[in-house]
Amino acid sequence: MKSVNDDVRWLDADEQRAWRAFLRIRRDLDAELGRRLRSRGQMDILDYELLVILSEAPDRRLPMGELAAESTTSASRLTYRVDRLAERGWVDRCASPSDARSTLAILTDAGFSALEIAAPDHLRDVRTLLFDHVEPGELKPVADALERIADRLAT
């Protein structure tokens, strides 16, 4: 009699190590980066992510739907986060001139300044926690593999 597990491709030892390490990094890296940003009284990691996305957008503005798609948060949670950023004067919201059903999130000069202040320490943290532990020859194949996976998940 055939078992339901007969067709399962179980992870081998290296795949299991990579998967478990990925899970730990996914959990711990964002938490530590966020803790460090907050400890300096700057912002949390999601605020930083949203400000970066807006800073790289044309005219530092994006429709809320596009901002949600580019970020690691849901559309409903994004509304709350953008409201908080607006309270700090870092983001404005307005109706899209080209689509009355769409709202734009706009990075303000104050938000851009906050990002400029936070960025140097944050980038040092990223280097310290992540890239300083990767040998120069290891980075390109890891980046290539991660991009292939990200592209595949985006389709």
The residues, ordered by sequence, that sit 6+ positions from 8 with a Cβ below 8 Å of its Cβ are none
pLDDT at 2 over 80: no
Residue range 122-132: mean pLDDT, rounded: 96
Within the chain, where are the H helices?
13-39, 45-56, 64-70, 75-87, 109-129, 136-154
Tell me the pLDDT band of 76, cut-offs 50, 70 and 90. confident
pLDDT at 101 over 60: yes
Q: Domains of the chain, with CATH numbers?
A: 43-132 (1.10.10.10)
pLDDT at 85 over 90: yes
Residue range 82-102: mean pLDDT, rounded: 91
103 in Cβ contact with 95 (< 8 Å): yes
Q: pLDDT for 5-56, tens place per residue?
A: 778 899 999 999 999 999 999 999 999 999 999 999 889 999 999 999 999 9
62 in Cβ contact with 82 (< 8 Å): no
Residue 91's pLDDT is 98
What mean pLDDT value characterizes the chain? 92
* CA distance readout (Å), 97 to 63, 101, 118, 148, 155: 11, 10, 32, 36, 30
